[in-house]
Amino acid sequence: MAAHAAEPESVVPPMPERTPKALREAIAADTPQLLADFDAHWKWAIADAYDIGPVPAFMALWWGEYALARDPELDKHVRDLEHRAAYECTDIAEAKALLEEAAKIHYRVRELEPGE
């Protein structure tokens, strides 16, 4: 019987520097499926504005989106929790627990530092 080669472990890319430019470059390189939405949101919320006030909220949102999307297993887990809570649970307490777990993960990934 022939031995099977082990599946290569997926490597989660490190978080970029915490700037819009570095985040956009990381999204383009590692999670290109997010790029069109990132660019559209940037143009709508930031690029045409005369105030940089919305930049921190924009970065917090997209920092978390990228942090999840760069790790397909974690992203799948969070989306599964949210899906189960929304479409499969008939018990309010169970749905609440699933959403709280997903929210904790969303919060935790937003706290990641560059290089992590």
Q: Tens digits of per-residue pLDDT, 30-79? A: 999 999 999 999 999 998 778 889 999 999 999 999 999 999 999 999 99
Token output for 112: 């990641």
| Averaged pLDDT, 11-39 | 97
Alpha-carbon distance 61 to 38, whole Å? 10
pLDDT given at position 47: 87
Say what the pTM is: 0.84
pLDDT at 7 over 60: no
Contacts of 54 (CB under 8 A, 6+ apart): 45, 46
- Contact indicator for 67, 59 with CB cutoff of 8 Å: no
pLDDT at 1 over 70: no
pLDDT at 4 over 70: no
The owner of tokens 């899906």 is 83
Other Cβ atoms within 10 Å of 51 Cβ, number? 7
- Of the segments 4-18, 36-50, 77-91, which one has the largest average pLDDT value? 77-91
pLDDT mean across residues, the chain: 92
Cα–Cα nearest to 16, from 31, 3, 1, 36: 31
Confidence of residue 27 (pLDDT cuts 50, 70, 90): very high
